[in-house]
Amino acid sequence: MLNVYEQVSKNKIQSGLIIGLFITFITATVYLISSSLDLGPDLIISAILFSSAGSLVSFFWGDKIVITLNNAKIANRQDYFDLYTSVENLSLANQIPMPKVYVIDSAATNAFATGRDPDHALICVTTGLL
């Protein structure tokens, strides 16, 4: 069984692999299409640039995109005391920075955590789960 640090390292490697495979897939697909239609190399260069840019945007700003799309509001200590203090206590116990805590106004029972490292992490919970 992997310890926490080994799991984090494994997840980082897998994330890099997924990003690389995405860029490779898009580039290969555009190459096949452009070579079969004799469109030239400009389209392939564009595919590399756009897939790389899309990967970077999702890596650095994916959490903000998800929060914005779901109209999540930041959870403050007064309104969501139990949730806020639970996250605060867990981060203190694990000696990591406290992630930002968000709440989505939805009857669905759902929660997720995202972020590329402990300094850029967030936790989001629906009101249905609370």
pLDDT interval class at 115 (50, 70, 90): confident
Mean pLDDT for 11-32 is: 91
Report DSSP state, residue 98: P
- With contact defined as beta carbons under 8 Å apart, do 102 and 130 qualify? no
**Cα separation, 80 vs 7, whole angstroms:** 31
**Mean pLDDT, rounded, for 103-129:** 91
pTM: predicted TM-score of the whole model, two decimal places: 0.74
**Is the model's pLDDT at 40 over the cut of 90?**
no
If you average pLDDT over residues 88-101, what whole number do you get?
92
Residue 8 has pLDDT above 90, yes or no: no
Mean pLDDT of the chain: 90
Name the burial class of residue 119, with classes exposed (0-12), middle (13-18) and buried (19+) by CB atoms within 10 angstroms of its CB: exposed
Q: Is the pLDDT of residue 24 over 90?
A: yes
pLDDT digits (tens, 9 = 90+) for 49-94: 999 999 899 888 988 998 999 999 999 999 999 999 999 999 999 8
